[in-house]
Amino acid sequence: MSQLVIKDLQVGVETEAGMTEILRGVDLTINSGEVHAIMGPNGSGKSTLAYSIAGHPKYTITGGTVTLDGVDVLEMSVDERAKAGLFLAMQYPVEVPGVSVANFLRTAATALRGEAPKVRTWVGEVKEAMSKLAMDPAFSERSVNEGFSGGEKKRHEILQMELLKPKIAILDETDSGLDVDALRIVSEGVNRVKAEQNLGIMLITHYTRILRYIKPDFVHVFAGGKIVEEGGPELADRLEEKGYAQYVKA
């Protein structure tokens, strides 16, 4: 059982005009096996929340705490957070020229497992995970995310999640840019890891269609840098129908 606890999290970014406040006190607890959908208008701070938990250097934590099983996450370096069991599937995965997917995955697995995976079983493991996500094995030899289509990048994020086996995963708009078939394949991947690992999930999305595959236990409305309403799956349908107008100050 794992538990990610976010308490009164306040985050800003350094701009020319000084510190700009983005997150204004986020409270959220995610337990193993739970799916928390986060929905909210553009610019409300959803990615900022995701990046802050993962430790992106651009963001400055100005208040609050994040703990994983009682251990302070904000004190950890970015790689330590991954080792502690956190995973972020990014909204915009980064291209790393000249570094092959195969080399990247192996280096990451080695770092997380504390020893290099056995060559023979590892190659099979990667191949199987790729085939489940309907990814061409040729991707192994390509540079990380370089020239990948939007949908291919998202599949590659979930491939990493399958292989790295985190405890808590944050999926930042993993559904954006996926066609119907890819959406199903990727969702099945997420559900597989959830079943195997009893994964806890923070699922950031703009659309209810992914929630038909990955059933949320909780839906949170995010606006103006914090959670403004919480409910069950029915809240998502209401949001899709009515939009965010009632939560956004005119």
Ligand X SMILES: Nc1ncnc2c1ncn2[C@@H]1O[C@H](COP(=O)(O)OP(=O)(O)OP(=O)(O)O)[C@@H](O)[C@H]1O
- Our finding on whether 22 is near ligand X (CB under 6 A) is yes
Nearer to ligand X, 36 or 167 (CB): 36
Question: Any contact of residue 93 with another protein (CB under 8 A)?
Answer: yes
Window 95 to 124, contacts with another protein (CB under 8 A): 95-99, 103-104, 107-108, 111-112
CB closer to ligand X out of 47 and 197: 47
Q: Is 43 in the site for ligand X (CB under 6 A)?
A: yes
Least separation in angstroms between residue 101's CB and Mg ion is 24
Answer with the entry of ligand X, another protein, Mg ion, none that 136 interacts with (C-beta below 5 to 8 A by kind). none
Question: What SS3 string covers the chain?
Answer: CCEEEEEEEEEEEEECCEEEEEEEEEEEEEECCCEEEEECCCCCCHHHHHHHHHCCCCEEEEEEEEEECCEECCCCCHHHHHHHCEEEECCCCCCEEEEEHHHHHHHHHHHHHCCCCCHHHHHHHHHHHHHHCCCCHHHHHCEECCCCCHHHHHHHHHHHHHHHCCCEEEEECCCCCCCHHHHHHHHHHHHHHHHHHCCEEEEECCCCHHHHCCCCCEEEEEECCEEEEEECHHHHHHHHHHCCHHHCCC
Q: Which stretch binds ligand X (CB under 6 A): 42-50, 140-148, 155-163, 207-215?
A: 42-50
User: Applying CB under 6 A, does 48 fall inside the site for ligand X?
Assistant: yes
Does 44 engage in binding with Mg ion (CB under 5 A)?
no
Our CB check for Mg ion shows the closer of 23 and 126 to be 23
What's the rounded Cα separation, in Å, for the pair 22 and 222? 12
Residue 208 is a binding residue for ligand X (CB under 6 A): no
47 near Mg ion, rule: CB under 5 A:
yes
Considering only 12-20, 64-72, 89-97, 153-161, which stretch makes contact with Mg ion by CB under 5 A? 89-97
Site residues, ligand X (CB under 6 A): 13, 15, 20, 22, 40, 42-48, 58, 91
Query: Could you list the residues that contact Mg ion (CB under 5 A)?
Result: 46-47, 91
